Amino acid sequence: MARAFPIEKLRNFGIVAHVDAGKTTTSERILFYTGMSHKIGEVHDGETVTDWMDQERERGITITAAAISCNWAKTLEEDRKNTDNQYTFNIIDTPGHIDFTAEVKRSMRVLDGAVVVFDGAAGVEPQTETNWGYADEAAVPRICFVNKMDKLGADFDAAVKSIHERLSPKAVRIQIPIGAEDDMAGVVDLVTMKAYRFAGEMGMDVTEEEIPADLLEDAQKWRAELIEKVVEHDDEMMEAFLGGEEPGTADLKRVLRIAVLKNEIFPIMTGTALQNIGVQLVLDAVVDYLPAPTDLPDVDGTDPKDEETVVTRKPSDEEAMSALVFKLQDDKFVGQLAFFRVYSGKVTSGTYIMNSSTGNKERVGRIVRLMADKREEVEEVYAGEIAAAVGIKEVKTSHTLCDLEKPIVLETITFPAPVVAVRVEPKTKNDQEKMGVALKRLSDEDPTFTVSTDEETLETIIAGMGELHLDILVDRMKREFGVEANIGAPQVAYRETIQGSAEADHKYQKQTGGRGQYGHVKIRIKPLEALELDDDGEEKKIAKNITREDHFEFINNIKGGVIPQEYIPAVMKGCKEAMSRGFVAGYKMEDVSVELFDGSFHDVDSSEIAFKLAGIQAFKEAAARANPVILEPIMKVEVRTPDEYMGDVQGNISSKRGQLEGTTEVGGKTVVNSTIPLSEMFGYTNTLRSMTQGRASMTMEFDHYEVVPPNVAEEIKKSRGVE
């Protein structure tokens, strides 16, 4: 079976934004215009296609990243007649709420481009900044769409200014709106220097006309700025421009595309998805400026047998197959779906592949293309495509699927650690059996959701990115798995670390009649320092005798075989196990460097278990003398409030151990930026509403961990029953 369309005609892009910027409404318009959905769903009616989960429709927010495949021809009738203008899109509509940030991060890893949606009245909002940062990390080219220009208080110039100040000065207008608020009537395109208006059913009739006289001067001014930015990326065009020659539309588009692909320009477009103005032109811009898989650099990975060897794959159907699993989803009809992006080669249903992350050989049962909650079964998917596989057993997010004969491990996706935890208890014995299965499935799907057991009380603890995150997961447990459970009050995910250095010498020795146990280690511990960066901003390579894992470092400085090589991994394992329970209040320890520098062994009595136990005890002794402290998560909080309540809001933030970081004016409201410990933020939304008569709003996201003050540490210890 051959590929249905050339790879150059494929666009994989995501739609990302802050919660409530109109992102899902924009996605629904896209589905309508591309012929995927014959009836437009509205968020406020609970009938959207991309928000297909019950919880999403009830709450009017996006929770999971929905992936949709569809086709697009250009907007204008004369362009549509040209068969070269037929394109295939894979679109991912990502969540905007901070609690579901993992969905955005994992989507960025497999997308080639992104459309970032902004609220025309609010400009750049906190989650937009976070998502923009993820796109920067993944070097994803972006188009900005200033939406909701029909909204009261919409101000295109103010929105552009906030993009320049908070995201990037490289963002450049390629459109300006015709009117705003109730007068929003269409857009002016600065590349073609034409005006576009939208009429008929759902704005399907798009007409091109001359720019209104009252906007011509503005259009010429902003076009001049656009041309100045674009010509910098082409020497010939720059020379002609300096000689007084203005570039033609085709040349302007060609060089603008080059700049967008290099992340040197982020085009700014505008419209209102709800009133059906401007969305089709965004799709044209996706075709014109965002990359096809072939526009991207070859993907690099490592050889699973030798991590030092770099392996490269080109985005071609002829290459050996490589794909990255970026999401797992439980489907009640077919079981687990493993969503993957193919980077090279092709994946065929019914064939065997390798999961190079586990080393297992797996059979691909079926392959489905994704239409939000609907599936279309296909036999093969090719380089650059996104699909889901059924029947792959031991697979997790970030695993690499590849050719059996030519293995490769692609770079993994890293996720933020959970910051809020609750105790969960099944209501009946029947619920207890089902709860274990449900929690395992949900934690496999979501890397920011973890499940653990309290060693003392044997209670089950679930942890996530926020109260809403855990609320949704408990609700899913009830709806999808039929598990009724009682939930405890939210708890902060504290951590522990050390602030000093210490040494310990521990000899584990037992004689019980027959063969004994003997393990002797000397270790030195200190706070883990960040790796230095080289000239390219990459982390410097670490020495062969150093093992670096997440928040932990182990240095093997054993000389002369005083401890045989086979026992050293057991010492490292013991130290890591000791870190799972801290010494101040029993929280997990992190950011510790352990150096094993001496010890001894016994020819007969030494064993791995003896050295592991010696490692545990030595670590405990050293940690107790290394100034252990409790760390708490600090949240970045943004409150938008009318001026008259600003004093109350700031006073309340200070009373919560918050640090004020400044204020700005946006859309007629004052934005108060601060950092506040998470422990002070439970129930804050209700407090804020009552303090401001429901007129203020807030958003928060995790920022960093910080040492808790001594008086708070004492309270935490008391609550944990630690003297």
Domain ranges of the chain: 9-292, 301-410, 420-493, 496-626, 632-719
- Residue 444's CB: how many other CB atoms inside 10 A? 16
The CATH fold assigned to 632-719 is: Alpha-Beta Plaits (3.30.70)
Radius of gyration for the chain, computed over Cα atoms and rounded to the nearest angstrom: 28
- CATH number of 301-410, picked from 2.60.40.10, 2.40.30.10, 2.40.110.20, 3.40.50.720: 2.40.30.10
CA dihedral over 573, 530, 263, 16, signed as positive or negative = positive
Tell me the three state secondary structure of residue 682: coil
> Which residues is 255 bridged to in the sheet?
none
Whole-model pTM: value is 0.69
The CATH fold assigned to 420-493 is: Alpha-Beta Plaits (3.30.70)
Tell me the three state secondary structure of residue 641: strand
| Relative orientation angle of helices 249-261 and 213-231, to the nearest 10 degrees | 50
The CATH fold assigned to 9-292 is: Rossmann fold (3.40.50)
Tell me the three state secondary structure of residue 688: helix
- CATH number of 496-626, picked from 3.30.230.10, 3.40.190.10, 3.40.50.300, 1.10.3720.10: 3.30.230.10
What element of type H or E holds 59? Answer: helix 54-59
Q: What is the C-alpha separation between 417 and 495, in angstroms, rounded?
A: 11
CA 522, chain centre distance (Å): 41
Distances (CA, A) of 571 to 498, 601, 607: 19, 13, 11
**pLDDT beneath 50: ranges in the chain:** 38-66, 96-99, 372
CA 628, chain centre distance (Å): 32
Q: What is the C-alpha separation between 681 and 701, in angstroms, rounded?
A: 11
496-626 matches 632-719 in fold? no
User: What is the predicted pLDDT for the residue at 82?
Assistant: 63
Q: What is the C-alpha separation between 86 and 80, in angstroms, rounded?
A: 8
Q: In terms of DSSP H, where are the helices of 138-172? A: 156-166
Q: What is the C-alpha separation between 250 and 255, in angstroms, rounded?
A: 9
Across the beta sheet with 175-178, the strand order is 175-178, 186-189, 194-199, 205-209
- SS3 of the chain: helix, strand, coil, percent, to 5: 30, 35, 35
> Which residue, chain included where needed, has tokens 């020819």?
603
Longest dimension (CA), the chain: 101
**φ, ψ (nearest 5 deg) of residue 55:** -65, -35
What element of type H or E holds 106? Answer: helix 101-110
